[in-house]
Amino acid sequence: MDHSETLKTIDDFSIATVHTVSKGKGVVLWLHGITEGKDEYLRFFKDGAEYLGEKGIDSLRIDFRGHGESSGTSLEFSIIGQMLDVECALDYLLRYYRTTSTQLHLVGCSFGAPPAIYAAIRHPEIIKSIVLICPVLSYRRTFLEPETEWTKSIFNKRTLAELQKTKKLFVNDDFPIGIQLVEEMRIIEPEVAIRKVKQEIVLIHGDADSMVPFNVSKDIAKVVPKVQLIAISGMDHGFMDEGDETGTDRKSIDNKKQIYSIIAERCA
């Protein structure tokens, strides 16, 4: 059963959520990527919540500030703001289940990966597992010194120079980000923070990701013992097979099912 909740953050943003309640064998907090929302691209998170619900696992999906039905604009979206949104969601889950013994699990996709990492560091006693999908693990290598052609088209000398003048940088036609977010990218280092996580972390990343560099996940998995990399051959960003923009190809569907199965195993 799904029900909507609006949460209030400590800095007074309203966060829209959908809480899927089943048998309460555990609960997954889903953290979406930039420009997306609580359903994620092509219903990736919504379908995942339904999949887990059939197995008796609850879900909480949220819109980060500046996204979806939450308050704020894209220019107010920030990495620190994401962290505060996650804290608000975790506080709600602890109050709802009324016990710290409830198994809490984090799933972060793309830009939703770093706040999952920092939440895991802050709450090792309540967060039991972390699964990160096509994760942004280095703001430098993903955005500031981009390694993919898609990101190079957005973050380059011209657009960064314009940012200094206009205080805006467009991730897409409808989603400008502000200078605060870019400055946070220069300071915050999830590739360093991930070494402090006490829980096991599973990275699921396609080796054909055209947006977030697969090699970052590969490099981190080599040097951080608690990180397990599950590389999916031919998978682009998200769960889609390379060249599939609708997510309906057989390989894309298989990727999706594999990812859901991995998450469910961590919740067992």
Which residues, other chains included, contact 196 with Cβ-Cβ below 8 Å and sequence gap of 6+? 121
Q: Is the pLDDT of residue 101 over 70?
A: no
Give me the numbers of helices (H) and strands (E) for the chain, helices first please.
10, 10
3-class DSSP assignment, residue 211: coil
Residue 230 CB neighbours (<10 A)? 15
| Tokens read off for 46 | 């919504």
Which tens digits make up the pLDDT trace of 17-69? Answer: 999 998 878 999 999 999 999 999 999 999 999 999 999 999 999 999 999 99
Identity (one letter) of the amino acid at 136?
A: V
Cα 260 to chain center, whole Å?
15
Architecture, CATH, for domain 2-138+191-258 = 3-Layer(aba) Sandwich (3.40)
Which tens digits make up the pLDDT trace of 117-128? Answer: 999 999 999 999
Which tens digits make up the pLDDT trace of 198-222? Answer: 999 999 999 999 999 999 999 999 9
Residue extents of the structural domains in the chain: 2-138+191-258
Please report which helix (H) or strand (E) contains residue 53, including its range. Answer: helix 44-53
Tell me if 169 sits within 8 A of 177, measured CB to CB. yes
Please report which helix (H) or strand (E) contains residue 201, including its range. Answer: strand 201-206
> Which residue reads 């998995």 in tokens?
221
